[in-house]
Amino acid sequence: MWPEPAAEPRFGPRLAAYAATPERSQGRVHPEPSPRYRSEFQRDRDRIVHSTAFRRLKYKTQVFVSHEGDLFRNRLTHSLEVAQIARSCARALGLNEDLTEAIALAHDLGHTPFGHAGQHALNNCMRDRGGFEHNLQSLRIVDFLEQHYAEFDGLNLTFETREGILKHCSQENALRLGLVGERFLHGGQPTLEAQLTNMADEVAYNNHDVDDGLRAGLLTMEQLCGVELFRERYEQVRSRYPGLEERRVQHETVRRMIDALVSDLIVTSRAAIQAAGIQGSEAARDFPEPLIHFSPDMARQNRELKRFLRQNLYHHHRVYRMTVKAQRIVRDLFEAFTEDAKLLPEHFQDHARRLAENDEHGLARGVADYIAGMTDRHAIREHDRIFDLLTLI
């Protein structure tokens, strides 16, 4: 039997018994009075949307650098698309939509300028200084770097949102994170809402990278027809709408790919939860493996799409050229700021100095915080200011 819904929540639709609820939250690091007209997870979402780091996502690369065109995805539009997919799935599965949305909107806050190219460059710079990883940086932003509130640093989010942001974590880093790092040390899973957001992220970026790759002329329909997930939906569209213009064929095909993945994810996950006999959110956390996943056949098709994108889009010579430029910009900035901290803005000089008082790598971490917070165009301008002799200010 399908588990009975939990008691009527104070806000929002009825939830399944295995959904996370704000009433059972493990709370915030700094206790606060409960909000009057929102749930605790709604408050988390609202704080994320109003954060500086969230606004910066508009000018951070997904695949294509922001100045290459206004119609390509950026980290902000990607985060909104992940939130939409995740929230739709959460409603179908009876999960907490507000927690799901909060995690989705915050999951990329720690990304560097220039996407994964920037992250790889910054991680190489920090390799002997504690490393750099965007999930950890996202948590660092919401726990510490956002500084707007009178009584605490960061956004003081609930444990469940913070844990959901942390998709990956080494044991070394987990030891320093306290309760939020426990599952990386002793096993267990995050909430079903966090598991769902992780899968929604994958659905969004794979399929929207197909759309952007076609729009940019880096991919062709003919190439993509070698991928089963694309080919089957493309043939459906061509059969049903003969003579349809190419741009609409592209959109119809991509949206059908997303629908196929989402539908499979919902049906498969619902069956997995039922088969495991999950009756509460803690039982889902204690289960030895994730319960939100694709069927074996859809997982195979999704892996094939990912391999195709890696070989044909992410390694395309135009993307690769920008990757090399981006890594050089990040590397040059890191070396300049660590060699002479006076090149940093005064606020970040103070920030790096405070970190250095308690950590031998504090200066480098402060520089990494500054660079990671940059948008693409800010990083390019800073590089020009420091290295271009014709740019005086």
Token digits for 216?
Answer: 């940019």
- Mean pLDDT value of segment 356-375: 95
Retrieve residue 73's tokens: 């995805």
The whole-angstrom separation of Cα 93 and Cα 273 is: 10
Q: Is residue 169 over pLDDT 70?
A: yes
Closest CA to 195 of 95, 115, 263, 105: 95
Q: How many domains does the chain have?
A: 2
Give the mean pLDDT of 205-226. 92
| 351 and 216 within one domain | no
20-34, 163-177, 277-291, 299-313 — which is least confidently predicted?
163-177
Q: Decide if 13 is inside a domain.
A: no
Written as one letter, the residue type at 321 is R
Maximum distance among all Cα pairs of the chain, rounded to whole angstroms: 72
* CA angle at 218 for the pair 216 and 219, rounded to the nearest 5°: 110
Q: Are residues 252 and 183 in the same domain?
A: yes
pLDDT value for 168: 84
Average pLDDT over residues 144-161: 96
Residue 43 has pLDDT above 90, yes or no: yes
Q: Does residue 214 contact residue 250 with C-beta atoms inside 8 Å?
A: yes
In a domain, 392, yes or no: no
Share of the chain above pLDDT 70, in %: 93
d(CA 322, CA 19): 43
Residues in the chain: 393
Q: Determine the pLDDT at residue 1.
A: 44
348 assigned to some structural domain: yes
Asked if residue 68 has pLDDT above 80, the reply is no
Average pLDDT over residues 372-390: 90
325 has a pLDDT exceeding 50: yes
User: What would the 3-class secondary structure string for 181-194 be?
Assistant: HHHHHHCCCCCHHH
Q: Tell me which residue of 165, 105, 184, 129 sits closest to 366, measured CA to CA.
A: 129
Residues 204 and 105 in one domain: yes
63-79 average pLDDT score? 67
Rounded to an integer, the average pLDDT of 319-341 is 93
User: What are residue 57's phi and psi, to 5 degrees?
Assistant: -60, -20
Contact present, 292 and 196 (Cβ < 8 Å): yes
Residue that terminates a domain, selected from 314, 337, 369: 314
Average of pLDDT values for 351-361? 92
288 and 366 share one domain: no
276 plus 383 within the same structural domain: no
Once rounded to an integer, what is the mean pLDDT over residues 103-109? 96
Check whether residue 276 and residue 349 sit in a common domain. no
Compute the average pLDDT of residues 117-131.
Answer: 93
Residue 149 has pLDDT above 60, yes or no: yes
Do 89 and 168 belong together in one domain? yes
Say yes or no: 36 and 138 in one domain. Answer: yes
Domain end among 271, 293, 314: 314
Instruction: Establish if 10 belongs to a structural domain.
Output: no
Residue 105 lies in a domain: yes
User: Residues 52, 97: one domain?
Assistant: yes
Of 291, 314, 337, which residue is a domain's last?
Answer: 314
Whether the pLDDT of residue 70 is over 50: the answer is: no
Q: Is residue 30 part of a domain?
A: yes
Bigger pLDDT: 191 or 7?
191
Residue 20 in this model has a pLDDT that exceeds 80? yes
The contacts of residue 356 (CB under 8 Å, 6+ apart) are: 362, 363, 366
Query: Is 265 a domain residue?
Result: yes
Average pLDDT estimate for 344-368: 94
Give residue 7's pLDDT: 45
The position carrying tokens 């040059």 is: 332
pLDDT of res. 145: 97
Residue numbers of the domain that contains 360: 319-387
Q: Which residue has the tokens 């094939």?
A: 304
Q: Are residues 243 and 336 in the same domain?
A: no
Is 1 inside a domain boundary? no
Examine the domain organization and report whether 64 and 198 are in the same domain. yes
**Average pLDDT over all residues of the chain:** 91
384 pLDDT exceeds 80? yes
Residues near 140 by Cβ (< 8 Å), separated by ≥ 6? 110, 369
User: Residue 41: pLDDT above 60?
Assistant: yes
Q: How far is CA 194 from CA 12, 33, 207, 246, 307, in A?
A: 18, 25, 20, 37, 25
pLDDT in tens, 232-266: 999 999 999 999 999 999 999 999 999 999 999 99
For residue 115, pLDDT over 90 is answered with no
Among the residue ranges 142-156, 162-176, 282-296, 342-356, the one predicted with the least confidence is 162-176
If asked whether residues 360 and 231 sit together in one domain, one would say no
List residues bridging with 61 in a β-sheet. Answer: 74
Give the pLDDT confidence score for residue 64 in this predicted structure: 55
The CATH number given to whatever domain includes residue 308 is 1.10.3210.10
Question: Of 300, 109, 81, whose CA–CA distance to 201 is shortest?
Answer: 81
Label each residue of the chain as H, E or C: CCCCCCCCCCCCCCCCCCCCCHHHCCCECCCCCCCCCCCHHHHHHHHHHCCHHHHHHHHCECCCCHHHCCCCCEHHHHHHHHHHHHHHHHHHHCCCHHHHHHHHHHCCCCCCCCHHHHHHHHHHHCHHHCCCCHHHHHHHHHHHHCCCCCCCCCCCCEHHHHHHHCCCCCHHHHHHHHHHHHHHHHCCCCCHHHHHHHHHHHHHHHHHHHHHHHHCCCCCHHHHCCCHHHHHHHHHHHHHCCCCCHHHHHHHHHHHHHHHHHHHHHHHHHHHHHHHCCCCHHHHHHCCCCCCCCCHHHHHHHHHHHHHHHHHHHCCHHHHHHHHHHHHHHHHHHHHHHHCHHHCCHHHHHHHHHHHCCCCCHHHHHHHHHHHCCCHHHHHHHHHHHHCCCCCC
Average pLDDT of 293-312? 96
- Residue 216's pLDDT band (boundaries 50, 70, 90)? confident
Predicted local confidence at residue 8, as pLDDT: 42
Residue 116 has pLDDT above 80, yes or no: yes
